[in-house]
Amino acid sequence: MRKLSIAALTAISALALAGIALAANVYTVDGSTKPSGKGSVAKPLPIALGFDFQVESDDPSVRGTPIETYAIGSEGLVTYPKVAKSCTYSQANRDGTIDPKCNKAKVGSGLVQNVVGPASVPTTKIFCNLKLGLYNISGMGKNGGMAIRLDGDPKEPQLSDPNDKTINCPTPIHGAIKAKFVKTKIGGLPASDLRFTVPPELLHPSGLDTTVRNTVSKILKKTGKVKIKGKSRKVGFYSSIGCKGGKRTIQATFTDEQGQVFKATKQKKC
């Protein structure tokens, strides 16, 4: 009798699993630098930086699962936050409209396209597009950091086309995520990772799940002078100090709420 029960349970479980398609996230990343060039540690090359990433489900009928923590960087690209104006995180995180004192601290902009829905119904897709602003902030230690400012309000009609880039979100969102620069190595060369964790109120607004399905960002070529090995050098907020061969590795690391880590990389021309 016991053997029959175990066999029956095993068969039932197998049949149940056979009817379930376990979806998984698919991660992609892209980017660009301008001007092109390698630079060096002694003579960094100031650049403007473009960075994009996508998080989608391998099953197009369902949403991707939410990502809690991000790390974004590129081989041989480092930051010099002191060359740009700054404001405080609290000023960048002000509800409604960002503090005007942050206007000169703006170093980049872009678009964040989210998909939202109840955790119990992964096929529900509510689109939420937010304006992205990137601000150099003080009080982040010697490596510095940025405030990732997100803004969006409801508009009629609601978004229905996933390719529509209109700023429109069913729930008003006005706030910032605190991000820090961390010195690391990518592709064997020094790099500055931008690392941040999405707070619960953005990851699960009104108890829903949010997946950042597409982000497009551009960081300006802000320049200034710093001392490098005793010499005054012109550097950028982002600068290139090297690149192996003719291409550099762009890398994004994604960590979900269960602590699972995933990476996406791409080779781009230096």
The structure's pTM equals 0.90
| Residue 122 in domain | yes
State residue 22's pLDDT score. Answer: 62
Please state, in angstroms and rounded to a whole number, the distance separating the CA atoms of residues 151 and 202. 12
Question: What is residue 23's predicted lDDT score, i.e. its pLDDT?
Answer: 82
Whether 5 is in a domain gets the answer no
pLDDT of res. 52: 97
In angstroms, rounded to a whole number, what is the distance separating the alpha carbons of residues 137 and 122? 36
Residue 15 resides in a domain:
no
Place of tokens 């809690």: 68
- Amino acid 124 reads T
User: Strands, DSSP E only, in 37-87?
Assistant: 45-57, 67-74, 77-79
The answer to whether position 7 is within a domain reads no
Give a yes or no: residue 16 inside a domain.
no
Counted domains in the chain: 1
Q: Any bridge partners for residue 250, and if so which? A: 74, 266
**Distance of alpha carbon 197 from alpha carbon 67, whole angstroms:** 9
Tell me what pLDDT residue 20 has: 40
**Residue 63 resides in a domain:** yes
3-state secondary structure of 127: strand
Q: CA–CA separation, 10 vs 26, rounded Å?
A: 31
In a domain, 9, yes or no: no
Residue 172's φ and ψ, nearest 5 degrees, are -60, 130
Q: Are 69 and 197 spatial neighbours (Cβ–Cβ below 8 Å)?
A: yes
Return left, alpha or beta for 268; rule: phi > 0 is left, psi -120 to 50 is alpha, else beta: beta
Asked if residue 13 belongs to a domain, the reply is no
Contact 55, 25 (CB under 8 A): yes
Residues of the chain with pLDDT under 70: 1-22
Distance CA 81, CA 224 (A): 10
Quote the domain boundaries for residue 34: 23-269
Instruction: Give the torsion through C-alpha atoms of 202, 204, 209, 213, to 10 deg.
Output: 10
Give the CA distances from residue 7 to residues 13, 15, 187, 196, in Å, rounded to whole numbers and listed in that order.
Answer: 10, 12, 51, 48
